[in-house]
């Protein structure tokens, strides 16, 4: 396939070391934020911990910490928010995998939460993680003695809360569910009657909200805590919106051509469920082109905004694209 971009190795070992440093910060602290649960509801703790400890790249918390440092801040101040956003992301995965939605059996190479704990407990575990994420952020806000930093942490909490709800991730998930035959039949009319010309706009809406909103919030929250100026925050936001789209385009492509042993997910599920994806709407080769274009736009956004240090974030954007190289 001639338009598949060649792998960019510019990140090298220094990029990998930096990613590991930030990821290890999260790994070292995230379990301490898992809430204590009364022994009469102990299965809830087990289900929450199962999914939180299932591994993964921890992309969203790494982005949050990296943006904080790129804006000139201390990543330690942003750590509770990084763990909180991973809780919220994990809740979304548990619910997304549920039989009432994508009905996936595997996540990160392991049985999904509902396969291990049952449909009902999986829903409750997801609910618990969402609320725990909010708890962690608000506790960090209330514990902050510095007025200016407390205000920035409160703003970061708002960014994440807004992105997780009906103005972001939940809205995108709703459209995604309805596009694949979810809900009641009398509510599906605007979805089943979508013309071919309307599908690209709906696709972008779903991706911008279901996946992109939380990635955008990760970067913006970290930058806000780090003390980014208005101009810098605009550049961070532009970057985040671009990589959020890159992430989902790449994910769509991997569902077609990915190695299940590497992705930890069964391939072909999007087509089986009739999902709107970039390969389905634009074709595979065009999807590779879009991923390359948006990746370069993300890198350019940071250079134009001139944050304190953007080298790692630039390489992270390239790394996301490289998953399909």
**Residue 3 in domain:** no
Separation of alpha carbons 25 and 32, rounded Å? 12
**Residue 54 in domain:** yes
**Residue 5 in domain:** no
- Other beta carbons within 10 angstroms of residue 145's beta carbon come to 6
**Residue 281 in domain:** yes
Which phi and psi (to 5°) does residue 106 adopt? -125, 145
What is the pLDDT, as a whole number, of residue 121? 97
Q: How far apart are the first and last CA of the chain?
A: 11
What is the pLDDT, as a whole number, of residue 175? 94
What is the pLDDT, as a whole number, of residue 309? 72
What is the pLDDT, as a whole number, of residue 190? 86
What is the pLDDT, as a whole number, of residue 143? 98
Q: Is the pLDDT of residue 68 over 60?
A: yes
**Residue 4 in domain:** no
**Residue 192 in domain:** yes
- Tell me the residue range of the domain where 247 lies: 12-322
214: burial class by Cβ within 10 Å (0-12, 13-18, 19+)? buried
Nearest 5°: CA angle at 173, between 171 and 175?
A: 70
CATH number of 281's domain:
1.10.600.10
Mean pLDDT computed over every residue of the chain: 91
What is the pLDDT, as a whole number, of residue 274? 84
What is the pLDDT, as a whole number, of residue 202? 96
Q: Where are the alpha helices (DSSP H) in 59-211?
A: 59-70, 75-97, 113-117, 119-143, 147-164, 169-179, 189-192, 199-206
Nearest 5°: CA angle at 4, between 108 and 298?
A: 75
What is the pLDDT, as a whole number, of residue 308? 60
**Residue 220 in domain:** yes
**Residue 234 in domain:** yes
Of 50-59, 179-188, 277-286, least confident by mean pLDDT is: 179-188
Sequence-ordered list of residues with C-beta below 8 angstroms from that of 173, at least 6 positions apart, any chain: 92, 95, 96, 101, 209, 210
pLDDT tens digits along 136-187: 999 999 999 999 999 999 999 999 999 999 999 999 999 999 998 888 888 8
Model pTM greater than 0.85? yes
Separation of alpha carbons 5 and 114, rounded Å? 38
Kindly state the tokens that stand for 236: 């961070």
What is the pLDDT, as a whole number, of residue 4? 34
Distance of CA 236 to the CA centre of its chain: 16
Q: Is the pLDDT of residue 1 over 70?
A: no
Domain count for the chain: 1
Kindly state the tokens that stand for 81: 């928010």
Q: Is the pLDDT of residue 307 over 60?
A: no
What is the pLDDT, as a whole number, of residue 306? 61
């Amino acid at each position: 396939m001639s338009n598949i971009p060649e792998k960019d190795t510019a990140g090298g070992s220094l990029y990998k070391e930096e990613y590991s440093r930030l990821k290890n910060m999260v790994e070292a602290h995230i379990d301490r934020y898992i809430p204590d649960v009364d022994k009469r509801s102990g299965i809830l703790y087990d289900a929450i911990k199962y999914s939180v400890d299932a591994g993964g790249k921890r992309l969203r918390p790494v982005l949050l910490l990296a943006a904080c440092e790129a804006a000139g801040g201390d990543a330690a101040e942003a750590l509770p928010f990084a763990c909180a956003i991973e809780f919220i992301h994990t809740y979304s995965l548990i619910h997304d995998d549920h039989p009432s939605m994508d009905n996936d059996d595997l996540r990160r190479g392991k049985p999904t939460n509902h396969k291990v704990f049952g449909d009902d407990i999986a829903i409750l575990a997801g609910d618990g993680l969402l609320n725990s994420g909010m708890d962690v952020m608000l506790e960090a806000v209330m514990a902050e003695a510095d007025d200016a930093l407390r205000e920035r942490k409160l703003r970061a909490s708002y960014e994440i809360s807004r992105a997780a709800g009906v103005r972001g991730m939940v809205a995108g998930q709703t459209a995604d569910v309805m596009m694949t035959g979810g809900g009641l039949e009398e509510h599906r009319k605007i979805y089943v009657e979508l013309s071919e010309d309307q599908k690209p706009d709906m696709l972008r809406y779903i991706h911008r909200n279901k996946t992109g909103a939380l990635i955008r919030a990760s970067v913006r929250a970290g930058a806000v805590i780090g003390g980014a100026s208005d101009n810098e925050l605009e550049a961070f936001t532009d970057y985040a919106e671009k990589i959020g789209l890159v992430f989902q385009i790449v994910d769509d492509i991997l569902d077609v051509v990915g190695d299940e042993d590497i992705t930890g997910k069964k391939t072909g599920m999007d087509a089986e469920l009739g999902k709107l994806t970039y390969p389905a709407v634009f074709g595979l080769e065009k999807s590779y082109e879009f991923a390359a274009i948006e990746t370069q736009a993300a890198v350019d956004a940071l250079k134009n905004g001139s944050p304190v240090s953007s080298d790692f974030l630039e390489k992270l954007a390239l790394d996301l694209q490289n998953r399909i190289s």
